[in-house]
Structure 1
Amino acid sequence: MALARSRRLAATTALAVAVTAGGAAAWATREPTAQSSRALAVPTSTSGARSADPTPTPTSVPTADPAGRRPVPTRVVVDRIGADLPLVALGVDRAGRMALPSSSHVGAWYRFGPAPGDTAGAVVVSSHVDSSEDGVGPLSRIGRLHRGDRITVRTSDGRSYGYRVERVVHIDKTSLDTGLLFSRSGPPRLHLVTCGGEFDRSTGHYEQNVVAVAAADRP
């Protein structure tokens, strides 16, 4: 579905998520609350409370950067929607939110979380749905994905990791559990995320997130 030009010009925001105690079981693998609350914490957040920030707010950032010790994702390919994005490894911005490239045609892998090939947890990849510099991005089309569609993530050591879509959900930004989005436990999976829903001119943000949940191929 095409996005209005006014949205493309106005939206320099990508992805806003907020913590809630419920509403996530329908899209993610539910974990015990204690595990979810430990998964990722934001230096600038003391509670992981609800917000409408323009980018996802992880719940904890480790002191060591795991991206420096392993191959990192460099590209995500989703044939069904014609998406082929280079990826950069990013952490959090000065506000403690997940950092994203300004371009809607470049994605970010959350470098403090799991990487492709890890035996547990969610690999988080996201990008702007659109941007003022280059218009609508490929991830604007993830709502078209179907169960079983393949997503491939390539890494800096030349390997490719496959994932199969299990579901795609549209979630209000006040209803997405970031403890689950950035989880480090549970089965290996990919969370491909962007913005969706209506663009709220009063806040400068989209009202929803779109999350494609994909299970890792078995070795």
Structure 2
Amino acid sequence: MTTRITNRRGYLIALVVALLAALAVLALTLGGGPGPSDAQPPPARPVAVSPAPASEAQDAVAALPKSEPVSIDIPKIGAHSSLVPLGLNPDNTVQVPPVTTPLQAGWYTYAPTPGEVGPAVVLGHVDGNHQKGIFFRLKELAAGDRVTVARKDGSTALFEVTKVHQVPKKDFEAEGVYDDTADPELRLITCGGVFDRSAHNYVDNIVVYAHLVQG
């Protein structure tokens, strides 16, 4: 089943426009089989972000510079994995880690790196190859749980979960997973819900939202 999502990162508009000139539309597919769902966004548009109140701005954690993530650790659910870069396939869909290695997670390279301003994105399978996947227990996370991402520059970005949503794939675009944010945030995405045997995929996505609390 295909799910549409919208990527509206303001500072990537120039890149998206250049890609659209060659590809006609930039497609984002979050998987196939028992991993993240298919996804294909419309062209990006700038998103106005209202400034945070003064009290919130004082509590905000400074964003980190760009640096590729190398691993992710989620103690509550016993999830630890190196992170492989996920770009675009020849058919303009987003690559996912091989379903034959379901314990491997990956990060989407056209989103911010974890710790930068905006929504960084990490994808993982719920299961695959008759095994539990790296994000098999992702739905167990709750507000306040911690996620750490080690970065290539030697720093570690610490995120705190703010919410967990189970979203029908047909409604994924409206969820706003890829919308611009004023602060550094993280999205963890996998499949969930009922497994549709006729489609060979799950009918929902599990989306974990988190914000940077230490970098």
Amino acid at match of 2:106: A
CA distance in 1: counterparts of 2:195 and 2:157, whole angstroms: 34
User: Is 1:183 paired with 2:179?
Assistant: yes
User: Is 1:55 paired with 2:38?
Assistant: yes
- Structure-to-structure mapping, 1:87-126, within 5 angstroms: 87-102=83-98, 103-118=101-116, 120-126=117-123
Deviation at 1:34, TM superposition (A): 10
Deviation at 1:178, TM superposition (A): 7.5
Deviation at 1:70, TM superposition (A): 4.7
Deviation at 1:183, TM superposition (A): 3.4
CA distance in 1: counterparts of 2:188 and 2:71, whole angstroms: 13
Deviation at 1:123, TM superposition (A): 0.4
Deviation at 1:56, TM superposition (A): 3.4
Q: Any gaps of 5 or more consecutive residues in structure 2?
A: 45-64
Work out whether residues 122 and 191 of structure 1, in 8 Å CA contact, stay in contact via their aligned partners in 2: yes
- Structure-to-structure mapping, 1:1-219, within 5 angstroms: 17-19=3-5, 46=25, 54-59=37-42, 70-102=66-98, 103-118=101-116, 120-132=117-129, 135-177=131-173, 180-217=176-213
Q: Deviations over 1:132-173 (max 9, x none)?
A: 1x6111311011111100000011122110000001110000
Q: Percent of aligned positions with the same letter in both sequences?
A: 28
Indicate the residue corresponding to 2:62 in structure 1. none
CA distance in 2: counterparts of 1:40 and 1:169, whole angstroms: 28
CA distance in 2: counterparts of 1:72 and 1:59, whole angstroms: 26
Give the structure with the larger strand fraction. Answer: 2
* 3-state secondary structure, aligned to 1:181: coil
CA distance in 2: counterparts of 1:180 and 1:34, whole angstroms: 11
CA distance in 2: counterparts of 1:187 and 1:155, whole angstroms: 18
Q: TM-score, normalised by structure 2?
A: 0.71
Rg larger for: 2
Taking a change above 3 Å as real, the CA distance of residues 176 and 186 of structure 1, as seen in their structure-2 partners, is farther
Taking a change above 3 Å as real, the CA distance of residues 121 and 138 of structure 1, as seen in their structure-2 partners, is same
Work out whether residues 55 and 99 of structure 1, in 8 Å CA contact, stay in contact via their aligned partners in 2: no
CA distance in 2: counterparts of 1:34 and 1:88, whole angstroms: 22
Q: Any gaps of 5 or more consecutive residues in structure 1?
A: 1-14, 21-30, 62-68
RMSD: 3.5
CA distance in 1: counterparts of 2:123 and 2:26, whole angstroms: 23
